[in-house]
Structure 1
């Protein structure tokens, strides 16, 4: 579970280094006024001031080195923590599957994993810096007490007011930081939606309206930014008023004590410097702001980390033809029954078409068969082993999936077919089997063509999606994966599927009569229930079945 403390602790070895350098900086800050005060007294006395000036120079040099090391350690700590957090969040999203991230919009997820993760990674350095920043005022109070108790009393009264200002600032800025990050995520989500449907937007001539929809949240973002700066300005102004009061109080008391002969001129100078340190507590507003942003980032990252990952077993599949069984499978989502008590016993090695009207549950059935989602009740077995008990590697080796709108990943066409690129021969075989090789071979760089720059139609993308799924050893699940193909290519691929030399089970969601006719069996779904399981020719006599195909 991601918390502010767990993120802060990821700094590991960097945090002690940051803390050490912060303490060195605090020690330098506390030592310098005393050394300079002694220098003043030595100068007034006209003797021995050289050693104090050398000591002051050495202390200043030490402070500079500590600041440089602190800056490097802080940057390294944030970079390492950000990398860890992003890796963890991406793994959680990927392992959560389609259902795990269903409650998040794509753009918002990207914002959480990128920008918010970086904000959250500031937790460790900001917390250490905030703790170390307490040392100068506390030390100042101690040194002033050693010089004169009345100086300490005057200093303490002023510092209490500064602390109250900081507490109020911390409380107000935390809520604003979270609201600001949430609004950024909503803007990113809207932009992501528009980029996905950019062709539709351009064709519909609604570009201007879409710009207004995306940027419509900018006033809200601006408002929250203004509120943040107002809080910062108000707190800064309050600290700017209280700070000089601390200095004036200490100087007034110090002047009286100097006239009374209780302190020296050098001690009064040192006291004034310690008073400035106490007044400088107001500079903590920047550190507190970082902590507030880190807390907001941690909260948004924790919501992603809470995604329930799909659990996998450790079993391997026995030798078998891909015998697929649905045992009282019911799927319920948001109170809606998507599949209702489905029982199927599909012999291995067959081509099985899944048909039905829109909303019948075809894609849900395909997702459950491929274990892209789990049933609410019941279970699915492949060659006698429940899918939930099969190891992740074994399952993905045995089951391949292709979709109507495949999301191709990788740098090149070849990587989009076989991301591991272990065997170019297998990549070529998959491309040939799905007739993707026909157009890939015509590209300037063939399988090494950049995926982003390759001009492809919807049908060509589908062929690449089919090629990616093709190496599966037991079960191919095709969810309307040939809908964008031309009739000739679809017929060729259907023939390849029905004449599969590997004798795998092929579960094909389709709206095409020809595809259903070539299948060995047809599963006819209606409102989440299996209406019939039979060959297409047997079902064709039913008028309701024919209406499924329009």
Structure 2
């Protein structure tokens, strides 16, 4: 179960900490810091120009009122100048607002771009154990949906909140300038607004957290059902799959509805408080005009400022649901970014004279020295395992399911790290090698085949860096008996397949992965049930090809069909993480032990 799934959904992990961390991502470097300062400058100038407009309009009103009561009449020239100035300020302010929006869009997209890069880099550094415990759909949801939601939140909320805060500061300064008493009347209602928004926000935040958790589960289920569609249909699980989807979909609907419904109370609450403000301003302002302390134009300007003061508060409150949704997504992405990574590769390179003498190639001498390993500390799987394999030897590993056969190979590849003892390659502890250096000399064919979107030729050449000639690709395909079926495809080696290998049988996909390993020409070959999906005749042909491939190379072969590993130099029989027997095929049969029982059971089952 993932961390996201195991933690309670009723509350946010840390809304404040995640929000601050998200804001810090906006200014990680000098180029983006300069862009942020430009956004702030454009926004400040735009708001400053807009804030003085009500004061100028109030002055125009005073000119009209005083002119109406004076014999000289209204000074329309002064009124016209005031209105012309207002028009100019509106034009310049609008232009600066457009510039701010343009710069903010670039800033936010840069942040989103970097966040996706960071997530991709993180995925490359995570150990295999992380992917074993996380559903693929959940990981995809965090790296796509959640990051998209963060970007949209920043895009929609950043400029609006920035302008709202700047407007609050500017408007408050103008209100204090006009009438400190009326400014106090307005400020008296602010704590009520803030308290209401906080209380409502606390009720809504857990629902946003649940919304994105359920989204991850829903995506995981859809991805799982799509990938295993054939199995779902064959085993009659369509109705159950639909029911599970409906449960997740209903949970997503419920959490999304609650989140939007609860957070939707914020704006009406702010509007109610704002209306109280207008009533108080009208009463107090009227009394001040009657006493001659304020002019009508000042009261008009103040009423307009009160609108502009409550507007940003209402706007910020209305953005609360969007902010909470974005921070909920940020928490999920930060959980991914904070996951424990693989141990770092050694920075110092050790001189390896033996390998240098061979042109940098691996000889293939592998030694397991008192190796211990466990997936969970309380449940050891492998204890005190020792094994030496000489260059060019073929080692077959057999045993019941769960005996630790594949784990042994994963430890050699450093997909997992040993918890005790050590593994050496050509006498060098593999923990002192970088993973790239270690794996560059190893070719691997797994029971679960995987193709990549592209042509057949591209898939065969996938394991080789740089350009590979078509002749080498064809040679590898012919060596593994894949050439025959490839030429029957519509475009031969240029036939495009997707990652699921649609249109190819399981055996054909496995032949392509074997050809991929052939082309790499590794020093160490790992075959994990590599012929499990091919027919018997093709298996015999592949075995012959593999025999020639294994010449001079160290090979580890994991097999369930014991007839395929008779010619192995040494056969290891594993049970519960221990090597209980080792020897040649004939010697193990003669001993009448665990291997002989496995061998007899297979043929007895075949006869039955």
TM-score, structure 2 normalization = 0.85
Q: Confirm whether residue 241 of structure 1 aligns to residue 272 of structure 2.
A: yes
Query: Residues 94-243 of structure 1 correspond to what in structure 2 (within 5 A)?
Result: 94-121=124-151, 126=157, 129-243=160-274
Query: Residues 385-464 of structure 1 correspond to what in structure 2 (within 5 A)?
Result: 385-419=428-462, 420=465, 422-424=467-469, 425-452=471-498, 455-464=503-512
SS state at 1:180 partner: helix
Which residue does the alignment assign to 2:53?
A: 32
Which residue does the alignment assign to 1:492?
A: 541
How many Å separate the matches in 1 of 2:485 and 2:550?
Answer: 24
| Offset, 1:271 | 0.3
* Aligned mate of 1:308, from 340, 344, 348: 340
How many Å separate the matches in 2 of 1:421 and 1:208?
Answer: 48
Question: Relative to structure 1, is the Cα distance of residues 462 and 95 closer, same or farther in structure 2, using a 3 angstrom cutoff?
Answer: farther
* Aligned mate of 2:371, from 329, 352, 359: 329
Once structures 1 and 2 are overlaid, which stretch shifts more, 125-134 or 235-244? 125-134
Structure 1 vs Structure 2 CA RMSD: 2.3
How many Å separate the matches in 2 of 1:447 and 1:313?
Answer: 40
How many Å separate the matches in 2 of 1:36 and 1:431?
Answer: 83
How many Å separate the matches in 1 of 2:510 and 2:589?
Answer: 28
* Structure 1 portions without partners, runs of 5+: none
The 8 Å contact of residues 325 and 345 in structure 1, kept in 2 or not, is answered as: yes
| Residues matched between the structures, number | 550
SS state at 2:368 partner: strand
Question: Relative to structure 1, is the Cα distance of residues 5 and 240 closer, same or farther in structure 2, using a 3 angstrom cutoff?
Answer: closer
* Aligned mate of 1:289, from 321, 324, 327: 321
TM-score, structure 1 normalization = 0.94
The 8 Å contact of residues 573 and 594 in structure 2, kept in 1 or not, is answered as: no
- What whole-Å deviation, never above 9, does each CA across 1:57-107 have from its counterpart, x for those lacking one? 122222322332333333323322222212221222233242132221110
* Aligned mate of 1:538, from 574, 587, 605: 587
Query: Residues 48-63 of structure 1 correspond to what in structure 2 (within 5 A)?
Result: 48-63=78-93
Once structures 1 and 2 are overlaid, which stretch shifts more, 144-153 or 343-352? 144-153
SS state at 1:507 partner: strand
- What whole-Å deviation, never above 9, does each CA across 1:239-258 have from its counterpart, x for those lacking one? 11001111221222111112
How many Å separate the matches in 2 of 1:58 and 1:511?
Answer: 84
How many Å separate the matches in 2 of 1:472 and 1:283?
Answer: 64
Question: Relative to structure 1, is the Cα distance of residues 263 and 51 closer, same or farther in structure 2, using a 3 angstrom cutoff?
Answer: same
How many Å separate the matches in 2 of 1:96 and 1:216?
Answer: 31
The 8 Å contact of residues 332 and 339 in structure 1, kept in 2 or not, is answered as: yes
Once structures 1 and 2 are overlaid, which stretch shifts more, 344-353 or 9-18? 9-18
Q: Confirm whether residue 468 of structure 1 aligns to residue 516 of structure 2.
A: yes
How many Å separate the matches in 1 of 2:439 and 2:549?
Answer: 19
Which residue does the alignment assign to 1:76?
A: 106
SS state at 2:265 partner: helix
4+ aligned runs moved over 6 Å, structure 1: none
- What whole-Å deviation, never above 9, does each CA across 1:399-445 have from its counterpart, x for those lacking one? 12221112222322222222356112443333333222232232222
SS state at 1:508 partner: strand
How many Å separate the matches in 1 of 2:525 and 2:477?
Answer: 15
How many Å separate the matches in 2 of 1:466 and 1:195?
Answer: 26
| Offset, 1:203 | 0.7
Question: Relative to structure 1, is the Cα distance of residues 307 and 422 closer, same or farther in structure 2, using a 3 angstrom cutoff?
Answer: farther
